[in-house]
Structure 1
Amino acid sequence: MKTAWVFPGQGSQAIGMGADLADAPAASTRFEQAASILGWSVLDVCQSEDDKVSKTLYTQPSLYVIESILVDLLRQRGQEPSFVAGHSLGEYVALYAAGVLDFSTGLHLVKRRSELMDTASGGMMAALIGFDRAQLEQCLEATDGVVLANDNNASQVVISGTKDGVEAVMAAVKTKRAIPLNVSGAFHSPLMTAASSEFQDVLESVLFQPAKVPVLSNVDPTPTTDADTLKQRLAQQMTGAVRWREISLQLATEGVEQVIEVGPGKVLTGLVKRTCKDMALENVGAIADLDRLFPNPA
């Protein structure tokens, strides 16, 4: 059975995530390694009751570390994916899972990405649910300063851009729900160009390895293992759209029968289900999930 591992991004974090991983021998080494790079403890941040984990500066590295540990634990149990993909921040974990980046290199990149995105200001994002796609596309085309940031499935997207632009589209397009998002900036839009340019300097210094399994990128869902292509696509990600609906469709086209969401929550399996109704879906967000799906041999 062809299986894809998919990795969630910002928005899937939750207070308490990763607590069950603290006692796993392989995980403790990773948590220590992460603390030396970040200067703070992922486990402490995730257990903080003041929801510190939802601040961009902490969210992105915490998700990267926990999802990467889950990748390691899946491999310990003999599991390997046929394809990988990640939603926004999750693409970095996908690259780790595919052997393009080692754990430390990926975390250094995510740390810098989170710092730049945390300080990005101006603009806003909003989720739109239940709409006429033709009307939305026409409105986006006609409105300055706003773009489609996340194309999640046929009936759920996120728009991003200037406050005036986003509010104009929210007012003009008939939706079941339109929800402003609590984020620091207009992610995945041209308003991130300055942050993206600064990040580009960091990315240029990093050597990417050819992927061991094909990766479907946010800005281009065509599977590839080519290191230069994957690096180029990642460079475009901060200002480009997350084309998750197309990723879901491409997985089905590639003959994938099962999608495993590796990380907290069930956001991505929910999105895939609405696009590919016959896909088998599983979630691995804790050791209990590993035990249920892939029990260690006695």
Structure 2
Amino acid sequence: MTVAWVFPGQGSQKIGMAKQIENLPNTKERFNYASEIFERNLFEICELNTEPTNPLIDLNNTRNTQICLFLVESILLDALKKKGFKPTYVAGHSLGEITALYCADVFSFEDCVSLIKERSQLMVNSGEGSMAAVIGFDRNQLDLLVQKIDDIVIANDNSSSQVVLSGSAEALDDLSREISCKRFLKLNVSGAFHSPFMNEPSSKFSEYLKQIKFNNPSFPVISNYEPSLCSDPNELKIRLEKQMCNGVRWRETMDLMAKDTDLHIVEIGPSNVLSGLGKRHLKDVKISQVSSSDQISY
């Protein structure tokens, strides 16, 4: 059987996700290490039940979301590995691609923490554009509108029935008035992620990545920028450099996985965002979820 481990990105975070793994090995140590680097209590941020007045302690703030998700996902995947589980290949959605590269031993936990601090800060400071989710639409109509309207791209091609667009606020408003869909939902984000609006932060991120050593992966990685199995560390580096200003091609990633007739997709993370996409987009595929210390198996 082909086993694909997949790691979600922003949008899958939830209050209580750190508590679900607090008794796993390395949880306290890893949260403490990252909290020192980020200069805030990340475990506490994962557990705050009240609406924070300070954005620096808000789990939904990109600065916190990305590192907290990585911590939870990395702790869960290492617990699976310790039990003898391993994937045939890995993939991650946006931030999850960094977790996938960590899982494949391309770089260390410490490198990931520093890298995510740089990435999240650059994305928060981008400050341009916005994003919107579109659900239940005609693909041909959407593609024509994206081609017709300037300053708009498909940022997350999540499935045949769900995409996220990035662009200027005006362009998104124009498209919302023309498209026929079930839902058009503006997202509360700090910029137009995975689009040309991110060219400048993406360029700075590429410079930062030059400092990071990419090791040979232990198993193939499917990247967001180019959804194909890759085991070349130099190519994986190029793909990660291009990820921030290009779309997440998750629909194509699922289609690639589905070429395996005997496939088991295991989502490792706090919620079932990718599992839900897989169940709606794919047929006759086994999908499991690993999100807490109670279920370190599949």
TM-score bracket, shorter-length normalisation: over 0.9
Look up the equivalent residue of 1:24 and give its one-letter code.
L
Aligned equivalents of 2:280, 2:250: Cα separation in 1 = 12
What secondary structure sits across from 1:253 in the alignment? Answer: coil
Aligned counterparts of 1:125 and 1:256: Cα–Cα separation in 2: 36
Quote the residue 2:172 is aligned against.
Answer: 166
Instruction: Check conservation: 2:3, 2:264, Cα contact below 8 A.
Output: yes
Q: Choose which of 74, 77, 80 in structure 1 pairs with 2:80.
A: 74
* Match of residue 257, structure 1, among 252, 263, 269: 263
How far 1:14 sits from its partner (Å)?
0.7
The answer on whether the counterparts of 1:94 and 1:215 sit within 8 Å (CA) in structure 2 is: yes
Aligned to 1:86: 92
The separation in 2 between residues aligned to 1:193 and 1:118, in whole angstroms, is: 14
Partner AA of 2:48 in structure 1: S
For residues 255 and 113 of structure 1, the distance between their equivalents in structure 2, rounded to whole angstroms, comes to: 36
Partner of 1:200: 206
CA contact (8 A) 1:147 1:161 kept: yes
Contact 2:209 2:241 in 1 (8 A): yes
1:118 match: 124
Whether 2:3 is the aligned partner of 1:3: answer yes
| Structure 1: tracts of 5 or more residues without a match | none
| Whole-Å separation in 2 of the counterparts to 1:255 and 1:57 | 39
Secondary structure (helix, strand or coil) at the match of 2:288 reads strand
Cα contact 1:4–1:256 (8 A) shared by 2: no
163, 186, 193: which is aligned to 1:157?
Answer: 163
CA distance in 2 between counterparts of 1:27 and 1:21 reads 7
Runs of 4+ in 1 over 3 A off after TM superposition: none
1:46 aligns to 2:42 (yes or no): no
Q: Which amino acid aligns with 1:15?
A: I
Cα deviations by residue, 1:60-81 (Å, 9 ceiling, x for unpaired): 0100111001111111111000
Give aligned pairs, total.
Answer: 292
State how 1:278-293 maps to structure 2 within 5 Å: 278-290=284-296, 293=297
TM superposition shift of 1:101: 1.0
Distance 1:226 1:92 in 2: 15
What is the identity, as a one-letter code, of the residue corresponding to 1:110? I
Is 1:109 paired with 2:115? yes
Q: Which runs of 5+ in 2 are unaligned?
A: 53-57
TM-score, scaled to structure 2? 0.95
The residue number in structure 1 matching 2:70 is 64
Partner of residue 240, structure 2: 234
Secondary structure, in 3 states, of the residue corresponding to 1:177?
Answer: strand
Contact 2:24 2:75 in 1 (8 A): no
| Aligned residue runs from structure 1 range 201-220, under 5 A | 201-220=207-226
Q: What displacement does 1:144 show?
A: 0.4
2:252 is aligned, of 223, 246, 260, to: 246
Cα 1:27–1:34 shift into 2, 3 Å: same
Q: CA deviation at 1:168?
A: 1.2
Partner of 2:234, secondary structure, is helix
Distance 1:205 1:256 in 2: 39
Task: Check whether the contact 2:102–2:109 (CA below 8 A) recurs between aligned residues.
Answer: yes
User: Which piece of structure 1 moves more, 210-219 or 24-33?
Assistant: 24-33
Contact 2:155 2:195 in 1 (8 A): yes
Q: State which drifts further: 97-106 or 48-57.
A: 48-57
Q: Quote the Cα distance in structure 1 between the aligned partners of 2:182 and 2:115.
A: 37
The aligned runs of 1:180-195 (5 Å cut-off) are 180-195=186-201
RMSD over equivalenced CA pairs, Å: 1.2
Point out the more displaced range, 30-39 or 257-266.
30-39
1:190 and 1:105 map into 2 onto residues whose CA distance is 26
Cα gap change, 1:168 to 1:256, in 2 (>3 Å): farther
